């Protein structure tokens, strides 16, 4: 909803004579400028630091001439809003917004060190091995699905808008940037909505409905995601041409090519998932990006590729601060140089054809497998120890149950055979130590084992529609009609309830006990997509 603050921001125009550059040491809000990171068509990104607590951040300042453009300021605000509605680890965090004394608008975001996916592709010959690509694509798909569950479509997915960073353990942490033209479903706040017939997005990746300037939703993101997958795996865009118009016409009318025909070393098992994403009609695409990425991963696994969560770190000199990019390619024909590893495999192909090439192109990152196997061995030792301990407890409990019964039977026989001897048996002397009877330990062990909680909790979801699918992250748990289980824990997890034809819904739960909940999905808006 629109607020008075929005109205004030939208109506503020920069004063004449203000300069675009902010000198080092300038205080912007609570942060002090340390230097320029990068500059683009919409504004400048600065590295800043909080002078008291020492927190490093980045500030994006809208260009002076754009700060008087209500539509541009509205998009600037929408980007900050969209990011904060989603709040996903693979989407850059924006946590403050303001206006400079000269009227320019800015927001404060997390400072990231990494490299854009566009630059990373260029430095690797234009394409990535399948396993490395999936390490980037899977978290991006989860982030976009989280956005879609909040009713937000990005509408400009491309390698340039993905920043590659890495966690402390070497895991890949791609960050999705630039929600500047994101569409917030049901947002009545924008005074500058996209008018019918206005094209939004980048021509090389645009969905057919975007080309026509028709209303688009999360299904357009599924199409552009498929186009980006095509580029990452083949090193070429799905469509090229002499002009932007040529490319857009092909997005509307030309069938998407098969990746295995564009790059013959790729397995054909990857073709169908990408073709499904790039269907011309929105209703013919996967119902969600989780469904789409799962199909891609399954195809890769059928081809013998083992997906992983990390890949070789950035090369020397490749990492850079947020916003640093190489020169933007001119034109729309995209035929990057072949990766030497792929070229060598091509020249070495023998009678086996594509299979020989496939084994070569999928072998990158073997050093990571070695590292992972050592950590797996450590975990195996821990698991083995736990299993041994459990067996020991089981044997003690078994002995405790059987020995007292045997002793009782023996005593019964002796007492019936010689009651006089039993009556004359002397009590133990004070010097004889008393031994605790074994029989008392059995109930204690049984009660202790009975007190251990089940490792899983029962999950019951009354969904509307009743046969909605339930996901935990990208893993499908099953249908709402089934008896489901979740690993027991004390940390909250996000469940995704979805069904084709409906907007997905996120439900946050703490799986520390059995859960029963309701989830009613809203029908997805039906639009006329005839061309």
Distance CA 529, CA 531 (A): 6
Distance CA 297, CA 137 (A): 10
Distance CA 363, CA 302 (A): 16
Q: What is the 3-state secondary structure (H, E, C) of 242-287?
A: CCHHHHHHHHHHCCCCCHHHHCCCCCHHHHHHHHHHCCCCHHHCCC
Distance set, CA 126 to CA 3, 36, 140, 336, 360 (Å): 45, 28, 19, 5, 17
CA-CA-CA-CA torsion sign (148, 154, 159, 165) = negative
Distance CA 91, CA 173 (A): 10
Q: What is the 3-state secondary structure (H, E, C) of 470-483?
A: EEECCEEEEECCCC
Residue 187 contacts residue 82 (beta carbons within 8 Å): no
User: Taking every pair of C-alpha atoms in the chain, what is the biggest distance, in angstroms?
Assistant: 119
Q: Which two tokens stand for residue 501?
A: 């034809």
Classify residue 42 by burial, with Cβ atoms within 10 Å: 0-12, 13-18, 19+. middle
Q: Which two tokens stand for residue 346?
A: 């091509």
Distance set, CA 288 to CA 59, 139, 156 (Å): 33, 14, 17
Sole residue written with tokens 């080092």: 24
Distance CA 209, CA 219 (A): 10
**Nearest 10 degrees: CA dihedral of 123, 125, 131, 136?**
40
Phi-psi region of 365 (alpha: psi -120 to 50; beta: other; left: phi over 0): left
Q: Which two tokens stand for residue 286?
A: 């996967």
Sole residue written with tokens 């996903």: 88
Distance CA 49, CA 123 (A): 31
- Catalogue the active-site residues: 156
**Nearest 10 degrees: CA dihedral of 143, 147, 149, 155?**
-120
Distance CA 87, CA 106 (A): 19
Q: Pick the closest to residue 470 from 444, 450, 494 (CA basis).
A: 494
């Amino acid at each position: 909803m629109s607020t008075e603050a929005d109205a004030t921001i939208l109506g503020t125009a920069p004063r004449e004579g203000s300069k675009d550059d902010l000198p080092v040491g300038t205080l912007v809000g609570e942060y002090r400028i340390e230097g320029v990171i990068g500059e683009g068509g919409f504004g400048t990104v600065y590295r800043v630091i909080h002078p008291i607590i020492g927190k490093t951040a980045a500030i994006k300042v809208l260009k002076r001439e754009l700060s008087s453009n209500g539509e541009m300021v509205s998009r600037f605000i929408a980007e900050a809003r969209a990011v904060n509605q989603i709040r996903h680890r693979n989407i850059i965090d924006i946590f403050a917004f303001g206006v400079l004394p000269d009227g320019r608008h800015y927001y404060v975001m997390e400072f990231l060190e990494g490299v854009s996916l566009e630059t990373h592709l260029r430095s690797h010959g234009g394409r990535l091995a399948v396993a490395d690509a999936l390490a980037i694509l899977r978290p991006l798909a989860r982030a976009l699905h989280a956005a879609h569950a909040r009713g937000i479509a990005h509408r400009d997915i491309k390698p340039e808008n993905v920043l590659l960073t890495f966690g402390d353990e070497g895991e890949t942490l791609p960050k999705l940037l630039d929600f500047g033209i994101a569409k917030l479903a049901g947002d009545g706040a924008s005074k500058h909505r996209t008018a019918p017939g206005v094209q939004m997005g980048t021509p090389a990746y645009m969905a057919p409905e975007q080309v026509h300037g028709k209303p688009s939703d999360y299904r357009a993101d599924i199409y552009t995601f498929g186009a980006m997958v095509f580029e990452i795996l083949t090193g070429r865009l799905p469509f090229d041409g002499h002009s932007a118009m040529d490319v857009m016409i092909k997005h509307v009318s030309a069938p998407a090519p098969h990746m295995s025909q564009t790059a013959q070393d790729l397995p054909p098992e990857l073709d169908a998932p990408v073709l499904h994403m790039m269907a011309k009609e929105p209703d013919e695409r996967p119902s969600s990006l989780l469904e789409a990425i799962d199909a891609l991963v399954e195809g890769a696994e059928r081809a013998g590729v083992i997906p992983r969560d990390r890949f070789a770190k950035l090369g020397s000199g490749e990492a850079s601060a947020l916003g640093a990019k190489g020169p933007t390619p001119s034109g729309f024909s995209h035929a990057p140089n072949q990766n030497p590893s792929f070229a060598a495999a091509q020249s070495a192909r023998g009678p086996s054809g594509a299979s020989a090439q496939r084994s070569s192109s999928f072998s990158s990152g073997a050093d990571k497998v070695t590292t992972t196997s050592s950590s797996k061995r450590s975990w195996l030792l821990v698991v083995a120890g736990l299993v041994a301990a459990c067996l020991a407890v089981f044997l003690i409990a078994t002995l405790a149950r059987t020995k007292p019964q045997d002793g009782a039977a023996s005593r019964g026989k002796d007492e019936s055979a010689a009651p006089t001897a039993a009556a004359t048996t002397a009590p133990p002397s004070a010097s004889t130590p008393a031994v605790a009877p074994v029989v008392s330990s059995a109930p204690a062990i049984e009660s202790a084992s009975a007190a251990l909680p089940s490792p899983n909790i029962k999950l019951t979801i009354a969904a509307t529609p009743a046969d909605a699918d339930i996901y935990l992250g990208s893993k499908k748990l099953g249908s709402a009609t089934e008896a489901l289980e979740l690993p027991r824990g004390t940390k909250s997890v996000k469940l995704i309830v979805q069904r084709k034809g409906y907007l997905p819904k996120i439900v946050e739960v703490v799986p520390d006990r059995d859960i029963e909940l309701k989830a009613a999905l809203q029908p997805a808006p039906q639009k006329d997509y005839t061309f």
